[in-house]
Amino acid sequence: MLQAHLHQIERVNAAVNAVVTLTAESAAARAGELDDAIVRSGPVGPLHGIPVAHKDLVETNGVRTTYGSPLFSRNVPDRDAAVVERMAGAGAVSLGKTNTPEFGAGSQTFNQLFGATRNPYDLTKTAGGSSGGAAAALAAHMVALADGSDLGGSLRNPASFCNVVGFRPTPGLVSKWPTASGFSYDVSGPMGRRVEDVALLLSVLAGDDPRTPFALPVDGEVFAPPLEAARAEVRVAWSRNLGELPVATSVTHVLESAGRSAMLALGWQVDEVEPDFAGADEAFRTWRAWYQAFELGEVYRAHPDAFKPDLADEIERGFALGGDDLSRAERLRQGVYARVQRLLSRYDVLACPVSPVTPFPVEIPWVTEIDGVAQHTYLDWMRCSYFVTVTTLPAVSVPCGFTDDGLPVGLQLVGRPRGDLRLLGIARAFEDATGAWRRLPESIGSGRQPGSAPA
């Protein structure tokens, strides 16, 4: 299995640029150990032998971790982050690190160290971000599972762009150690090609961690396959644009023709509802600026010229925030949560766009216009995802369909509070109904057949 994936990396990674640090030798040693373990005592855990990769924001013991910044080009941590520990403990084989934008800022994966990650479905387009390297590696069958993180959509946007699944769990479900902050907008989570793959990885990642005070005491085994697809009628609040946001016609067409039609064919109740996200934009931008200053302020002060302008501006805004700004942002967040929670007391799931656009040219840093509506900052076009972040509810991007020119479009499903398992079951049923995951990237050739078994 390892050699098959290393061969695929050799075939396609030069074009896609998803895996930026390859650890083939240590992976081979690990695979040998796992082969021996099978003979001695049986499988190590539920991920025994499965090839994985870790986002280059995640600390990996003895393996370069750059955060996408030249400042850390030679950084080699002496510890593993919790997600790395748990994947290894479950028997996974790490092949290395996946590309990310500088410090994970933005939903387009490019940086000065490694360049841009390209979309396996169209090598002239972006894979999204900030977990763009993970999504592209999955889509191109270079790895079977991957971890990612999500502040403003970094698990969901690249999943939508690359026709894979990205799951944003309830904050605290997956430990963020060594980060000890209780900041609930930023989470770690699983990515895979199928919903059941994601549930498998979540079963390993989820659970308490005494090293951080904000991990939930949940037994990850509840997510272990087989994942039951939702069978009873599901009540869906169908939102075209989250009440106010510009969404490209091409995206709406796919979501309506493929996504909504699939739900109706399943016999689900689908009502057009536009939720009230008033205040979400200000709440997110205020808390994000605070968090960027909190996390990166010390490095920025020491090396201000080493940061890209968009991120530098955000950090400066974080420095300028006061108590009144944060109090207002938190009141707005609470209002958004209360309104969406009331909506979901009547519906099982909110369905809405992940991204308002399809994958765009890889040379463009960020989207500046959506169907004639100007986007003024590198965050503007990400609102479909980060409005949902403000709710702190679990959310997943599931492959939905393709545009006429062959570009993937995902659908975002938002679950009830602490409703991660139920949400995955709904996503599994939707995935089965559309079958969009079966369409492989023709430009790179995956070497696998549609319908191949999940990881």
Contacts of 268 (CB under 8 A, 6+ apart): 233, 234, 235, 236
Looking only at the bridges linking them, the beta strands covering 373-374 and 369-370 are antiparallel
Residue 255 tokens, joined? 């979501």
> What burial letters (b/e) apply to 180-191, b meaning 16+ CB within 10 Å?
eeebebbbbbbb
Are 214 and 320 in contact by the 8 Å Cβ rule? The answer is no
Active site residues: 55, 130, 154
Residue whose C-alpha is closest to residue 382's, from 412, 362, 340, 408:
412
- What span, in angstroms and rounded, lies between the C-alpha atoms of 16 and 145? 17
3-state secondary structure of 359: coil
Residue 223 tokens, joined? 């997510």
- What span, in angstroms and rounded, lies between the C-alpha atoms of 327 and 323? 6
- CB-count exposure of residue 45 (10 Å: 0-12, 13-18, 19+): middle
- What span, in angstroms and rounded, lies between the C-alpha atoms of 321 and 83? 32
- Residue 220's φ and ψ, nearest 5 degrees, are -60, -20
Other Cβ atoms closer than 10 A to 316: 16
Contacts of 120 (CB under 8 A, 6+ apart): 12, 16, 127, 136, 139, 140, 162, 441, 443, 444
- What span, in angstroms and rounded, lies between the C-alpha atoms of 279 and 383? 12
3-state secondary structure of 25: helix
The amino acid at residue 280 is A
Largest pairwise CA distance in the chain: 63
Residue whose C-alpha is closest to residue 312's, from 378, 221, 410:
378
Angle at 340 between CA 336 and CA 345, to 5 degrees: 150
CA trace torsion 428, 139, 32, 7 (10° rounding): 150
Residue whose C-alpha is closest to residue 423's, from 107, 156, 145:
156
